[in-house]
């Protein structure tokens, strides 16, 4: 069955939205997604008006509904379509406006740094670890990387998924009882902005290990250094990045002196 130009254009715009929203990884922030969709719609508009016949084909389905038809059967069908469109459209606009303008009962914002600067060095089970410039030592072992991912998954589902969720989106079983909620690792503004050493610090020391600029540290994140080994933490970090499709932030290399 051949579809009209109006339906084809509509399906094209919907397909573009679905690709930008769900196919591209890491996920695009909402503000950027809306900007891209504006570009898509503008490009489609320019394409339509660039050809007289194409514009006519695009407008014909609209005209056929709006303009009264001499055929009683067609006119009855168009009448029903007009009632449906002009009834649902204002309702959709009203719902959208209400959702975006309604005032909720949110708690006031806390003046704290979400990602405070990590210390230069920490003690992990009495062993000094320099966080600055620290890389995940397991990533150098490319041969066993898949094994580390699998073992990291075991660590995650034995210890972390209760809060951070099956899908690593912060919607675990205990998430509703925590304030602030557990981190959403699938958020593009989350772990993709951080080095793996930062995650090692936060996992090992938990909420109480945050510095002063991270207060009030009302985070329920426990300290895992007495539960997980150093290798376990590096493995679960690899699993988190691989499962979300994120890339960790790399330490900048110092330029060579010439």
State the DSSP string of the chain: -PPPHHHHHHHHHHHHHHIIIIISSSPPPHHHHHHHHHHHHHHHHHHHHT-HHHHHHHHHHHHHHHSPPSSHHHHHHHHHHHHHHHHHHHHHHHHHHHHHH----PPPPP---SSPPPPSEEEETTEEEE-TT---GGGG-GGGHHHHHHHHHHHHHHHTHHHH-TTSSS--TTGGG-SSPPP-TTSTTSGGGS-HHHHHHHHHH-GGG--GGG-S----PPP-TTTS-HHHHHHHHHHHHHHHT--PPPPPPPPPP-
Assess contact for 148 and 138: CB atoms under 8 A.
yes
User: Is pLDDT at 231 greater than 70 in this prediction?
Assistant: yes
Q: Start-end ranges of CATH 1.10.760.10 in the chain?
A: 121-244
User: Is pLDDT at 256 greater than 50 in this prediction?
Assistant: no
> Domain 121-244: which CATH class?
mainly alpha
User: Is pLDDT at 60 greater than 80 in this prediction?
Assistant: no
User: Residue 258's pLDDT is what?
Assistant: 41
pLDDT digits over 146-159, tens only?
999 999 999 999 99
Q: How far is CA 48 from CA 11, 52, 56, in A?
A: 15, 8, 9
Where does the pLDDT of residue 216 fall: very low under 50, low under 70, confident under 90, or very high at 90 and above?
low
d(CA 147, CA 249): 22
Lowest mean pLDDT: which of 11-25, 50-64, 116-130, 198-212? 50-64
d(CA 209, CA 225): 11
d(CA 66, CA 58): 14
Assess contact for 178 and 216: CB atoms under 8 A.
no
Lowest mean pLDDT: which of 55-59, 60-64, 94-98? 60-64
pLDDT digits over 18-42, tens only?
988 888 876 777 777 888 899 999 9
User: Is pLDDT at 255 greater than 50 in this prediction?
Assistant: no
Look over the chain and give the mean of its residue pLDDT values, rounded to a whole number. 83
Nearest Cα residue to 174 out of 111, 222, 217, 116? 222
Where does the pLDDT of residue 1 fall: very low under 50, low under 70, confident under 90, or very high at 90 and above?
very low
User: Is pLDDT at 188 greater than 80 in this prediction?
Assistant: yes
HSE value, Cβ hemisphere, 13 Å, CA-based, for 56? 3
pLDDT digits over 104-133, tens only?
665 555 555 667 788 899 999 999 999 988
User: Residue 236's pLDDT is what?
Assistant: 97
User: Residue 110's pLDDT is what?
Assistant: 54
Where does the pLDDT of residue 193 fall: very low under 50, low under 70, confident under 90, or very high at 90 and above?
confident
d(CA 120, CA 131): 5
User: Is pLDDT at 91 greater than 80 in this prediction?
Assistant: yes
Question: pTM of this prediction?
Answer: 0.56
């Amino acid at each position: 069955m051949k579809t009209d130009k109006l339906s084809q254009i509509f399906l094209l715009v919907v397909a573009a939205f679905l690709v930008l929203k769900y196919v591209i990884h890491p996920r695009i922030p909402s503000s950027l997604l809306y900007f891209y969709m504006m570009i898509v719609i503008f490009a489609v508009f320019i394409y339509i008006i660039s050809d007289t016949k194409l514009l006519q084909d695009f407008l014909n389905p609209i005209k056929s509904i709006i303009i009264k038809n001499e055929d009683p059967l067609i006119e009855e069908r168009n009448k029903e379509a007009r009632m449906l469109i002009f009834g649902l459209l204002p309702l959709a606009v009203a719902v959208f406006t209400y959702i975006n303008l309604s005032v909720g009962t949110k708690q006031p914002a806390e003046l704290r740094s979400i990602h405070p600067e990590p210390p230069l060095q920490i003690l992990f089970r009495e062993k000094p670890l320099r966080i600055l410039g620290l890389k995940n030592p397991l990533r150098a072992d490319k041969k066993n990387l898949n094994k580390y991912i699998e073992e990291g998954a075991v660590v995650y589902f034995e210890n972390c998924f209760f809060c951070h969720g099956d899908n690593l989106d912060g919607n675990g079983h205990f998430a509703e009882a925590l304030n602030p909620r557990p981190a959403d690792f699938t958020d593009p503004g989350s772990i993709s902005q951080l080095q793996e050493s930062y995650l090692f610090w936060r996992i090992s020391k938990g909420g109480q290990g945050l510095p002063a600029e991270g207060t009030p540290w009302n985070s329920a994140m426990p300290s895992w250094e007495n539960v997980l080994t150093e290798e376990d933490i590096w493995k679960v970090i690899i699993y988190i990045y691989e499962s979300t499709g994120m890339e960790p932030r790399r330490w900048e290399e110092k330029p060579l002196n010439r």
